[in-house]
Structure 1
Amino acid sequence: MPVAEDLAPPARERRLRLMGAGLGSSAEAHEHRLLRAARPALPVLNWLGQFANPLMRVPKLGWITADPRTARALLNDPAHLTLLSEGGVGHLWAQILGDWVTELFDGPGHHELRTRSKGLFTEPTSRAFVERAWGDRLRLARERFEAGEELDLAELSRVLVGQMVTTLLGMPVDRSRGDAAYLEIFATGEQLAAIALGTTADTELPPNKVRQARAIVERLTAHVDAAFSDASGDTVIGRCRELGLTLQQTKGLATLLMVAGTETAASAMARMAALLADTGEQHRLIAEPEHREDAVRETLRVTSPAPIIGRAVLADLEIGGRTLRSGDRVLVLTWTANNLAGAFRIDRPYLPQHRQLWFGAGRHLCLGGPLAKAELQAVLELLIGDGRPFEIVSRRYGRRVLIPAYASLVVRKV
Structure 2
Amino acid sequence: MINAATRHELTLLAAGQPWLPAVLLAGRAAKPIRKIPKLGWFVADPLVARQIYNDSTHFSIVSEGAAGHWWAQVIGDWVEDLFEGPGHTELRTKVRDLFTAGHTDALVDGVLGPALKQLSADLAAGQTVDIAERARVLVGRSVSDLVGMQPADIAAIFAEDGAVLTDEDPDQPFRILFEHVEELVNLAMGTMASTTLDPVAVARARTLATKLATSVPAAYERADPSTTLGRCRELGLELEHASGLAILMAVAGTDTLASAMTRMVALLHDSGHHRELLAHPERMPDAVRETLRVTSPAYLVGRSVTADVEIAGRRLLAGEHVKILTWSINNAAGSFSIHRDYNPETRQLWFGGGRHLCVGVQLVHSEMTALLEALTADGRPWEIVERRYRRKVFIPTYETLRIRLAP
Give the TM-score normalised by the residue count of structure 2.
0.93
Q: Is the Cα–Cα contact under 8 Å of residues 42 and 322 in structure 2 kept in the other structure? A: yes
Corresponding letter in the other structure for 1:112: E
Corresponding letter in the other structure for 2:177: I
Does residue 270 in structure 1 map to residue 248 in structure 2? no
Kindly tell me: are residues 243 and 314 of structure 1, through their superposed partners in 2, closer, same or farther at Cα, counting changes over 3 Å?
A: farther
Query: 1:391 matched to which residue of 2?
Result: 383
Does residue 281 in structure 1 map to residue 273 in structure 2? yes
**Residue deviations 1:215-273, cap 9 Å, x none?**
11122121123223333344343344456655444433322111111111100111001
Query: 2:337 matched to which residue of 1?
Result: 345
Task: Find the partner of 1:165 among 130, 136, 143.
Answer: 143
Query: 1:56 matched to which residue of 2?
Result: 34
Does residue 221 in structure 1 map to residue 199 in structure 2? no
Corresponding letter in the other structure for 2:386: S
Q: Distance in 1 between matches of 2:188 and 2:235?
A: 29
How far residue 364 of structure 1 moved from its aligned partner, in angstroms, is 0.7
Query: 2:54 matched to which residue of 1?
Result: 76
**Residue deviations 1:73-95, cap 9 Å, x none?**
11111111011111100000101
Query: 2:347 matched to which residue of 1?
Result: 355
Corresponding letter in the other structure for 1:328: E
Q: Is the Cα–Cα contact under 8 Å of residues 41 and 322 in structure 2 kept in the other structure? A: yes
Q: Distance in 2 between matches of 1:225 and 1:116?
A: 19
Q: Is the Cα–Cα contact under 8 Å of residues 389 and 398 in structure 2 kept in the other structure? A: yes
SS in 2 for 1:407: strand
SS in 1 for 2:343: coil
Q: Distance in 1 between matches of 2:242 and 2:93?
A: 17
SS in 2 for 1:229: helix
SS in 1 for 2:30: coil
Corresponding letter in the other structure for 2:40: G
**Residue deviations 1:83-126, cap 9 Å, x none?**
11111000001011111111111112211111111111111111
SS in 1 for 2:347: coil
Query: 2:199 matched to which residue of 1?
Result: 207
| Structure 1 segment 115-264 matched on structure 2, within 5 A | 115-174=93-152, 176=167, 177-241=169-233, 246-264=238-256
Corresponding letter in the other structure for 2:138: L
Q: Is the Cα–Cα contact under 8 Å of residues 145 and 228 in structure 2 kept in the other structure? A: no
Task: Find the partner of 1:32 among 3, 7, 10.
Answer: 10
Does residue 47 in structure 1 map to residue 39 in structure 2? no
Q: Distance in 2 between matches of 1:242 and 1:264?
A: 28
Kindly tell me: are residues 225 and 53 of structure 1, through their superposed partners in 2, closer, same or farther at Cα, counting changes over 3 Å?
A: closer
How far residue 40 of structure 1 moved from its aligned partner, in angstroms, is 1.5
Q: Is the Cα–Cα contact under 8 Å of residues 120 and 234 in structure 1 kept in the other structure? A: no
Unaligned residue ranges in structure 1 (runs of 5+): 1-22
Query: 2:156 matched to which residue of 1?
Result: none
**C-alpha RMSD of matched pairs (Å):** 1.5
Q: Distance in 2 between matches of 1:227 and 1:411?
A: 37
Q: Distance in 2 between matches of 1:92 and 1:41?
A: 22
SS in 1 for 2:174: helix
Identity %: 49
Does residue 98 in structure 1 map to residue 98 in structure 2? no
SS in 2 for 1:77: coil
Stretch deviating more after TM superposition (235-244 or 363-372): 235-244
Q: Distance in 2 between matches of 1:358 and 1:252?
A: 22
Query: 2:283 matched to which residue of 1?
Result: 291
**Residue deviations 1:12-55, cap 9 Å, x none?**
xxxxxxxxxxx131100000010111112211221221111300
Corresponding letter in the other structure for 2:4: S
Corresponding letter in the other structure for 1:37: A
Q: Distance in 2 between matches of 1:148 and 1:228?
A: 42
SS in 1 for 2:363: helix
Corresponding letter in the other structure for 2:90: E
Does residue 111 in structure 1 map to residue 89 in structure 2? yes
SS in 1 for 2:289: helix
Query: 1:408 matched to which residue of 2?
Result: 400
**Residue deviations 1:144-191, cap 9 Å, x none?**
101210010000001101111222332111395411111011111111
Query: 1:311 matched to which residue of 2?
Result: 303
Q: Is the Cα–Cα contact under 8 Å of residues 267 and 405 in structure 1 kept in the other structure? A: yes
Q: Distance in 2 between matches of 1:403 and 1:284?
A: 29
Does residue 85 in structure 1 map to residue 77 in structure 2? no
Q: How many residue pairs end up in the alignment?
A: 392
Q: Distance in 1 between matches of 2:251 and 2:74?
A: 13
Task: Find the partner of 1:332 among 307, 321, 324.
Answer: 324
Corresponding letter in the other structure for 2:176: E
SS in 2 for 1:51: helix
How far residue 353 of structure 1 moved from its aligned partner, in angstroms, is 0.4
Q: Distance in 2 between matches of 1:353 and 1:332?
A: 15
Query: 1:15 matched to which residue of 2?
Result: none
Q: Is the Cα–Cα contact under 8 Å of residues 169 and 235 in structure 1 kept in the other structure? A: no
Q: Is the Cα–Cα contact under 8 Å of residues 100 and 249 in structure 1 kept in the other structure? A: no
Q: Distance in 2 between matches of 1:67 and 1:24?
A: 23
Give the TM-score normalised by the residue count of structure 1.
0.91
Unaligned residue ranges in structure 2 (runs of 5+): 153-164
Kindly tell me: are residues 29 and 250 of structure 1, through their superposed partners in 2, closer, same or farther at Cα, counting changes over 3 Å?
A: same
Q: Distance in 2 between matches of 1:240 and 1:214?
A: 24
Query: 1:18 matched to which residue of 2?
Result: none
